[in-house]
Amino acid sequence: MRYISTRGQAPPVSFLDAVLNGMAPDGGLYVPERWPDAFEGEVERANCANMSFCVAASYVLEALGGEEALTRDVYDAYLGSPPAPFAFPMHVAPLVQIGPGEWVLELFHGPSLSFKDIALQLIGVMLDRELRARDQRRSVICATSGDTGGAAVEALKGRERVDLFVLTPKGRVSEVQRRFMTTSGAENIFAVEIDGDFDACQSLVKALFADASFAAQAALSGVNSINWARIAAQSVYYHVAANVLCAHGPAQFVVPTGNFGDAYSGWVAEKMGAPIGKIVVATNANDILARALNSGRYQRSPSSLETLSPAMDIQVASNFERILFEALDRDAEHVRRLYAEFGESGGFDIPEAAWVKLREDFQAAAVNDEETEKAMQAAYDDGGYLACPHTAVALAAKWKVDPPLDARPIVHLATAHPAKFPDTVERATGIRPHLPPKCADLFERAEKFDTLPADVEAVKRYIRGRSRAWR
């Protein structure tokens, strides 16, 4: 299987190169050149309901063109050597019923307690193995205001071939989130607080990649949400959950999302044969996706708003380009034109025929903070379920979608452990959630981080002095 760019001007590459490159050199995103079936025939597909997560993952990744070594990576990532990285190694993502016809798919049982662990654990194993085979090293860099940093630290700590530099805005991440980045104790992990906001961190990362000679000398690599491995790994839990519930008809998924990564992963699973009905895109007040799907215009707003669900406080939904490419019947030239318009004016109208197609697969609703808190409260009062604020955005969106969802199974994706947001959860429900036993000592662990000004040269010097990949 080859991977092509949504902008049509980059040479096709293998699965692994798509993962190592991150973004295509023409500025587009990689997608497979065709959509394969994940399973051969009905029987095998139905069997996926009884497979362990890692067996299902090896089918899906093999269909998507991952080579044989990837199957071993999958076992290392999800079963691991003891202690296993996930609290439920067999299922990784347990399906929990919260009401008649209604479930929560818990994606937060990995080491940093957010759904990002599911993809990043695999990326960590895969990167290290592939770089050893190529006798290379990489400096992985990421800017994060939330959960990606912690998941990347857990995935890359102690890895021989990679050093990780995480840039976070000083004082803008929660204490639990910060501690997941600063307490690994690993020598190849560098948590850096930047004197500035998240946009400043992101501009620094962009500037580092834009300096071609620096990027080459430091062998820079990224693990952000446009990375193909993230989409591929995230599509696995949709296959399993949809097949578990399929006796009652195709499941409808409600997905809290900002970058459109998780919602798009569901669409990918459906394309590869999973019995999925509508996918509901649930956003917070940063509602570019909900506006795009409901109005037909993709338009950024002047600035992002702070909400109770910070991992979705995103202005531009990067992965939207991938679904637009499909809705435009893979017309890369058309994608290029629309994104050129987006670059100039901050928006574009989705062509009518493409918009109609998007609405066949997706519905959308935006949820404000008050509705988020009410949903947390209701889930606890009605069924004793403690939801994190991101999960609550999905719970609330179900009530808001128009037309309403039908009687077939409804699955809400639960993307973070409630204990990652203890203050918000306590305010809404009166209950202060506890950290699970494996990280109960998070607040006692020693922290290690450095502070730098929001200055590109200072960050370059910092990386140059520490990266084992430097040449």
Ligand X SMILES: *Cc1c(COP(=O)(O)O)cnc(C)c1O
**What are the tokens at 65?**
């063109």
Mark 219-248 with x for binding to ligand X (rule: CB under 6 A) and - for no binding: ------x-----------------------
Pick 182 or 259: Cβ nearer ligand X: 259
Site for ligand X in 297-316 (CB under 6 A): 311-312
Pick 311 or 367: Cβ nearer ligand X: 311
Pick 405 or 414: Cβ nearer ligand X: 414
Pick 183 or 225: Cβ nearer ligand X: 225
Size of the residue set binding ligand X (CB under 6 A): 17
Does residue 415 contact residue 388 with C-beta atoms inside 8 Å?
Answer: yes
Q: How far is the CB of 439 from ligand X (least distance, A)?
A: 16
H/E stretch holding 96 reads strand 95-99
146 binds ligand X (CB under 6 A): yes
Q: Considering only the stretches 94-102, 153-161, 194-202, 254-262, report the one whose residues sit in contact with ligand X under the rule CB under 6 A.
A: 254-262
Pick 332 or 389: Cβ nearer ligand X: 389
The string of DSSP codes covering 202-251 is HHHHHHHHHSHHHHHHTTEE---TT-HHHHHHHHHHHHHHHHHHGGGSSE
Contacting ligand X (CB under 6 A), which of 6, 224, 227, 257? 257
- Report the alpha-carbon distance of residue 168 to residue 194 in Å, rounded: 6
Q: Considering only the stretches 121-129, 171-179, 250-258, 342-350, report the one whose residues sit in contact with ligand X under the rule CB under 6 A.
A: 250-258
258 binds ligand X (CB under 6 A): yes
Q: Considering only the stretches 60-68, 252-260, 336-344, 447-455, report the one whose residues sit in contact with ligand X under the rule CB under 6 A.
A: 252-260
**What are the tokens at 64?**
């998507």
400 flagged as catalytic: no
Q: How far is the CB of 270 from ligand X (least distance, A)?
A: 16
Pick 196 or 310: Cβ nearer ligand X: 310
**What are the tokens at 77?**
């990532």
Site for ligand X in 45-104 (CB under 6 A): none
- Report the alpha-carbon distance of residue 256 to residue 108 in Å, rounded: 13
Q: Considering only the stretches 201-209, 259-267, 370-378, 456-464, report the one whose residues sit in contact with ligand X under the rule CB under 6 A.
A: 259-267
Q: How far is the CB of 391 from ligand X (least distance, A)?
A: 8
**What are the tokens at 219?**
């062998």
Does residue 226 contact residue 316 with C-beta atoms inside 8 Å?
Answer: no
7 binds ligand X (CB under 6 A): no
173 binds ligand X (CB under 6 A): no
Mark 101-140 with x for binding to ligand X (rule: CB under 6 A) and - for no binding: -------------x-x------------------------
**What are the tokens at 405?**
């969802």
Nearest C-alpha neighbor of 125 from the set 78, 170, 58: 78
H/E stretch holding 425 reads helix 422-429
Which residues is 169 bridged to in the sheet?
194
252 binds ligand X (CB under 6 A): no
**What are the tokens at 106?**
């818990």
Q: How far is the CB of 259 from ligand X (least distance, A)?
A: 3
Nearest C-alpha neighbor of 172 from the set 144, 139, 204, 137: 144
Q: Considering only the stretches 44-52, 258-266, 335-343, 456-464, report the one whose residues sit in contact with ligand X under the rule CB under 6 A.
A: 258-266
390 binds ligand X (CB under 6 A): yes
Pick 225 or 372: Cβ nearer ligand X: 225
416 binds ligand X (CB under 6 A): yes
Helix (H, G, I), strand (E, B) or coil at 189: strand
Contacts of 241 (CB under 8 A, 6+ apart): 93, 95, 103, 105, 251, 253, 411
Does residue 117 contact residue 155 with C-beta atoms inside 8 Å?
Answer: yes
**What are the tokens at 390?**
């991101």
Helix (H, G, I), strand (E, B) or coil at 320: helix
Pick 32 or 146: Cβ nearer ligand X: 146
Contacting ligand X (CB under 6 A), which of 66, 149, 256, 422? 256
Pick 114 or 182: Cβ nearer ligand X: 114
Site for ligand X in 312-351 (CB under 6 A): 312
**What are the tokens at 204?**
């620094």
Residue of 116, 170, 271, 398 marked active site: 116
Strand segments, DSSP code E, in 73-121 are 95-99, 102-106
- Report the alpha-carbon distance of residue 62 to residue 346 in Å, rounded: 38
261 binds ligand X (CB under 6 A): yes
Distances (CA, A) of 131 to 66, 265, 395, 445: 15, 26, 41, 31
Contacting ligand X (CB under 6 A), which of 117, 147, 287, 373? 147
Cβ neighbours of 187 (radius 10 Å): 12
Residue nearest to ligand X (CB): 261
Q: How far is the CB of 151 from ligand X (least distance, A)?
A: 8
418 binds ligand X (CB under 6 A): no
Does residue 231 contact residue 122 with C-beta atoms inside 8 Å?
Answer: no
Q: Which residues bind ligand X (CB under 6 A)?
A: 114, 116, 146-147, 225, 256-262, 311-312, 390, 415-416
- As annotated, the active-site residues are 116
